[in-house]
Amino acid sequence: MMTHEFVVTSTRSMHSYAARVVDQLLKYKSLGGMKDIINCVDALQTDRFADGELEVSLNRSIRGRNVVLFTTCARNEADLCVEEAKIELYHTIDVLSRSQARKIMVFEPYVSCSRSDRTTRRNSVGLWVHFKTLVSLGVRQIVTYQLHSDKSTTMLDPTLCVLDDIPGFNLLSKYICDNYIKDMETLQETVRKEWAFCSVDAGGENTARIFANAFGAGLVIAHKQRDYSRANTIESINILSAEPLEGKKLWIVDDMIDTGASVERLVRTLAARHPAEINIVVVHAPFSHPAAERISALFEERLLNHLIVTDTVLLSPEVLQKIPRIELVSSAELSANIIRTITTGDSMTGLRGRFNAANYLKRQELF
């Protein structure tokens, strides 16, 4: 628990995002109940040597203060590649430790190496390497949104470093309620009769079930067969559903879209069942090439109606140009609320709990 004055700073990769979070935190502070916030978003400087090595320095004192460090190693505003972003992050933690920060919390909304979590004998495990490096450098708390698998949360010894993996699905569910449902009548008469949530693969069944249960809607399971001799390739997709999909409003849900191969194949497979419409909802949008081209083609062919993502990964101008109909959900306010909860010592249960559309809409109607 952080009870001291705290500092918010950022590596070059997340300056703008961190600044938006600070703005939200200052609103919370004006209502009382929070410790002093020191805005150090621009307090770090990264210098390059002629041989390519880098060094990070801090231009103000943080001695004895708790530090919240925002960072990402995915696509970012500084246009840093994954490797450079990671090295800068590790150097930044080192300078914060050397500057005698009381406690360092890394807030990494999207952990880009989270899919490298398979612990077999003859492969490296990128997520474990990343976490181990952070902890060895002095990080005592890590906050992120929606890691790729539940087993990822077991990679850290909680006596050395606390990991708070916050469900990003709740943020998206609230957005769907606010923009596509709005009232209890629509939830009961339309959503529960005409909607269904679909997994991208069998491994995503739990994700689709979470959404289906939250809205009281139908559940569709997609089971894909991969060609493991080649990366990002799909051989076939089988659809499992208790009800016919014709005339249904389908929502494909997942934690992320990378190259878009799985979701493109799934949309085309579902379209053959003649649903009323098909939509995609994901937390993280890395959109590696050629994801933008694949998704753009789905829109152009009128196979896809809505694509909803959060801002945990920066959407480049090129992606936005190719997919202008992306609906972007801001996570800055939620990030600020997470920090407020931690710094005031309040319970995190409410931030981790399962979303329930009926309860949410009833509360909205009260106000």
List pLDDT tens digits, range 336-354: 999 999 988 889 998 999 9
* 147 DSSP 8-state letter: -
Phi, psi of 323 (to 5 degrees): -125, 70
First to last CA, the chain: 32
The pLDDT of 260-276, averaged and rounded, is 96
Half-sphere exposure of 226 (CA within 13 A, CB side): 12
Which architecture, in CATH terms, is 170-329? 3-Layer(aba) Sandwich (3.40)
Give the chain's mean pLDDT.
93
Please write the tens of the pLDDT for every residue from 275-303. 999 999 999 999 999 999 999 999 999 99
- The reported pLDDT for the residue numbered 2 is 44
Q: Which two tokens stand for residue 101?
A: 């920060």
The pLDDT of 156-178, averaged and rounded, is 96
3-state SS assignment for residue 13: helix
Name the band, by pLDDT with cuts 50, 70 and 90, for residue 225: low
CB of 316 within 8 A of CB of 336? no
- The reported pLDDT for the residue numbered 1 is 42
* CATH code 3.40.50.2020 for 6-167+332-352: yes
- The reported pLDDT for the residue numbered 366 is 56
Cα 125 to Cα 115: distance, rounded to the nearest angstrom? 9
Cα 114 to Cα 289: distance, rounded to the nearest angstrom? 19
CB of 97 within 8 A of CB of 137? yes
Please write the tens of the pLDDT for every residue from 105-132. 999 999 999 999 887 778 999 999 999 9
Domain ranges of the chain: 6-167+332-352, 170-329
CB of 116 within 8 A of CB of 124? yes
Cα 115 to Cα 103: distance, rounded to the nearest angstrom? 28
The pLDDT of 347-365, averaged and rounded, is 91
Percent of the chain with pLDDT over 90: 83
Phi, psi of 74 (to 5 degrees): -90, -170
Half-sphere exposure of 272 (CA within 13 A, CB side): 8
- The reported pLDDT for the residue numbered 104 is 98
Residue length of the chain? 367
- The reported pLDDT for the residue numbered 342 is 93
- The reported pLDDT for the residue numbered 33 is 66
The candidate with the shortest Cα–Cα distance to 69, out of 1, 146, 13, is 13
- The reported pLDDT for the residue numbered 29 is 81
Ranking 142-151, 168-177, 326-335 by mean pLDDT, the lowest is 142-151
Would you say residue 55 has pLDDT above 90?
Answer: yes
- The reported pLDDT for the residue numbered 235 is 58
> Greater confidence, 68 or 36?
68
Cα 256 to Cα 247: distance, rounded to the nearest angstrom? 26
Helices (H) and strands (E) in the chain, counts: 13, 15
- The reported pLDDT for the residue numbered 63 is 95
Burial of 249 from C-beta contacts in 10 A (0-12 / 13-18 / 19+):
buried
Long-range CB pairs of 244-247, under 8 A, 24+ apart, other chains included: 244/273, 245/196, 245/220, 245/270, 245/273, 245/274, 245/275, 246/273, 246/274, 246/275, 247/194, 247/274, 247/275, 247/276
- The reported pLDDT for the residue numbered 4 is 55
Q: Fold identical between 6-167+332-352 and 170-329?
A: yes
pTM: 0.93
